[in-house]
Amino acid sequence: MVPSARLLTPNGGAAAGPAPSRREETANGGGPDLAALRPTNRSRGKAQAGKPRKRAPIWNLQAAVFVSVVLNVGLLLQHYVNSTAPSHHHHQEHLQACPMHLDAGVGRNRRGRQEEPQLSMPKAGAPSTGKPAVTPDSVINLDHGDPTMFEEFWRGTGSAAEIVIPGWQTMSYFSDVGNVCWFLEPGLDHEVRRLHRLVGNAAVDGYHVLVGTGSTQLFMAALYALSPRTDSAAGAAPMSVVSTAPYYSSYPAVTDFLQSGLFRWAGDANTFKGDTYIELVCSPNNPDGAIREAVLSSESSIAVHDLAYYWPQYTAITKRADHDIMLFTVSKSTGHAGTRIGWALVKDRDVAKRMTKFIELNTIGVSKDSQLRAAKVLRAVSDAYELPETKEAHRLFDYGRRKMVERWSMLREAAAASGIFSLPEETSGFCNFTKEMAVTNPAFAWLRCDREDVEDCASFLRGHKILTRSGSQFGADPRYVRVSMLDRDDAYDIFVKRLSSLQ
């Protein structure tokens, strides 16, 4: 005799009793049993068993439908009240309301099985950022280089940078097992090389392209790859890591974060004493926008060039960089910081293999979905310049340069109107990409407060609801601050207006 089937409950246990028959499921219409709604009269006994069964009064079914409608309307009203109530506990109230919405969304399919709850999705046009809208009285946060300035441009490009990834695609860890960087998508490799050839800011022939979760992971991979091998340097001191001040504030933080025995932060390259080191060269420099070259040189020295801002919207492209290790990122080239994709151009195969090994051990590769999106974005940038039918308005570097020129002009006017702030002098050069002279318009402003009674510019600006990053975090005087130039127009406009009013 075949044992009766048992139903699994949501918590993994088995419900008592046999599974419902197909006839029972059909009678229930795939939904809850309506037997409880039918009136019963047990006093009639078995004598009436042979008589035709009366149909359930139609008002019972109508009542069931009515009750169901009332419950759903009530739930919707409660959700509306919670979502519009002007309370600072709105988020908690919404979470408390969620279980009711989930229960209301649970049903049974045609075979009587419980379906997953249907969650409401945000509107297609809703922003994915958590940054709130700003008002004239808002705190303006320009501490981070969040490149939301480019949102306006990408909204206007239509489907040029859109991508649909089927459910079966990008499921494997591997992308190209014949490549040193075996998790690099071939499409991204192609578009990276294509864009550099178009702009002329970096050599790609003879280089290995490596992909990372942002350029920060590649920076960490480079430190690992360039440090002495543990099997041949037992007891050796950690490799010193230096950069000319003011240096990017994340360099010391990332270098010493894990307190590695392979490398350690050693500060300003201008004051470093020693022959064995890794020098980090950021050009144009974060935070002051200066064009940098390595300042130290010895047979055992190694330089890593961070060229995240070496793009036509920020500076003139004066030469094709051909350093041993060069780092780039979509965050600052196209504005897609949330995609978390960076790449490195590496000459030496062994160094490239060690950097790849670091990423393999760190994250077992890099998101292939993000790589495909980055490849599509880079393709859209290149197509706009190489395809004749592309509208000029869809050329990223032209748009970016116009915005940066406008913003730097506004900032210099605001600093002059205030009278207590100063900025670095403008520099310019012939741009091989645009074939004309171009003024440098860095992604960050290196702002100094010249008022005698202000020793900490970041604290002074914080008192006026402007958040910046103190110069002390860059190995410099705290009278300097770094100001992001890449926020949305509304935030930037409030910032310059507020800055001009400070005395």
CATH number of residue 187's parent domain: 3.40.640.10
Question: Based on the domain organization, do 207 and 266 belong to the same domain?
Answer: yes
Neighbours of 468 (CB within 10 A): 24
State the total domains in the chain. 3
Same domain? 325 vs 452: no
**Dihedrals φ, ψ of 351, to 5°?**
-65, -40
Residue 438 counted as domain residue: yes
Q: What are phi and psi of 308, to 5 degrees?
A: -60, -30
350 and 440 part of one domain: no
Question: Are 269 and 230 within one domain?
Answer: yes
Domain that includes residue 350, residue range: 170-386
My answer on whether 146 and 240 are in the same domain is: no
* Residue 165, in any domain of the structure: no
* Domain match, 456 and 326 both: no
44-56, pLDDT tens digit by residue?
444 444 444 444 4
Look at residue 365 and give its three-state secondary structure: coil
Residues 376 and 400 in one domain: no
Show the tokens assigned to 54. 């009366």
pLDDT of residue 96: 36
| DSSP secondary structure letters along 302-332 | EEEEE-TT-STTTS---S-B--SEEEEEHHH
Q: Is 180 helix (H, G, I), strand (E, B) or coil?
A: coil
Q: Is residue 21 part of a domain?
A: no
Please check whether residue 175 lies inside any domain of the structure.
Answer: yes
Supply the pLDDT for residue 240: 96
Q: Is the CA virtual torsion 377, 382, 386, 392 positive or negative? A: positive
How are beta strands 325-329 and 428-431 bridged, if at all? unpaired
Task: Tell me which of 342, 363, 386 is where a domain ends.
Answer: 386
Per-residue model confidence as pLDDT tens digits over 474-493: 999 999 999 999 999 999 99
- pTM for the complete prediction? 0.75
| pLDDT (tens digit per residue) in 250-302 | 999 999 999 999 999 999 999 999 889 999 999 999 999 999 999 988 888 89
Per the listing, tokens 């196209």 go with 334
CA distances from 274 to 196, 254, 280, 297, 305 (A): 35, 22, 15, 10, 20
Nearest to 8 by CA among 108, 17, 28: 17
Tokens of 209: 């392209």
Same domain, 308 and 404: no
CB 98 within 8 A of CB 120: no
Max CA-CA distance within the chain?
A: 109
| Whole-number pLDDT of residue 372 | 98
CA distance linking residue 307 with residue 285, whole number of Å: 9
> Could you identify the residue written with the tokens 């008192």?
463
Helix 368-386 × helix 186-199 angle, to 10°: 30
Amino acid at the residue 367? S
Q: What is the predicted pLDDT for the residue at 300? A: 81
For residue 233, what pLDDT is reported? 53
Same domain, yes or no: 200 and 323: yes
Per-residue pLDDT tens listing for the chain (503 residues) = 444 433 333 344 443 444 344 333 333 333 334 344 344 444 444 444 444 444 444 445 455 445 454 455 454 445 443 443 433 333 333 333 333 333 333 344 444 444 444 444 455 555 555 678 899 999 999 999 999 999 999 999 999 999 999 999 999 999 999 999 999 999 999 999 999 999 999 999 999 999 999 999 999 999 999 998 766 555 678 999 999 999 999 999 999 999 999 999 999 999 999 889 999 999 999 999 999 999 988 888 899 999 999 999 999 999 999 999 999 999 999 999 999 999 999 999 999 999 999 999 999 999 999 999 999 999 999 999 999 877 777 999 999 999 999 999 999 999 999 999 999 999 999 999 999 999 999 999 999 999 999 999 999 999 999 999 999 999 999 999 999 999 999 999 999 999 999 99
Any domain includes 130: no
Domain boundary among the residues 386, 413, 445 is at 386
CATH of the domain at 488: 3.90.1150.10
Tokens 């940078």 — which residue?
Answer: 161
- pLDDT score at 296: 84
Residue 267 domain-assigned (yes or no): yes
Assess if residue 460 is contained within a domain.
yes
Q: Is 309 exposed, middle or buried (0-12, 13-18, 19+ CB in 10 A)?
A: buried
Sign of CA dihedral 478, 315, 205, 193: positive
Q: Tell me, yes or no, whether 208 and 333 share the same domain.
A: yes
- Please report the pLDDT score of residue 236 as a whole number: 78
CA dist 464 and 446 (Å) reads 18
Same domain, 205 and 281: yes
Cβ neighbors of 503 (< 8 A, separation 6 or more) are 418, 419, 420
Taking a C-beta distance cutoff of 8 angstroms, is the pair 227, 262 a contact? yes
Q: In whole angstroms, what is the distance from residue 207 CA to residue 255 CA? A: 25
Tens-place pLDDT, residues 118-161: 444 455 555 555 678 899 999 999 999 999 999 999 999 999 99
Question: Does any domain span residue 210?
Answer: yes
Cα 413 to Cα 144: distance, rounded to the nearest angstrom: 23
Domain boundary among 369, 386, 403: 386
Whether 445 and 381 map to the same domain: the answer is: no
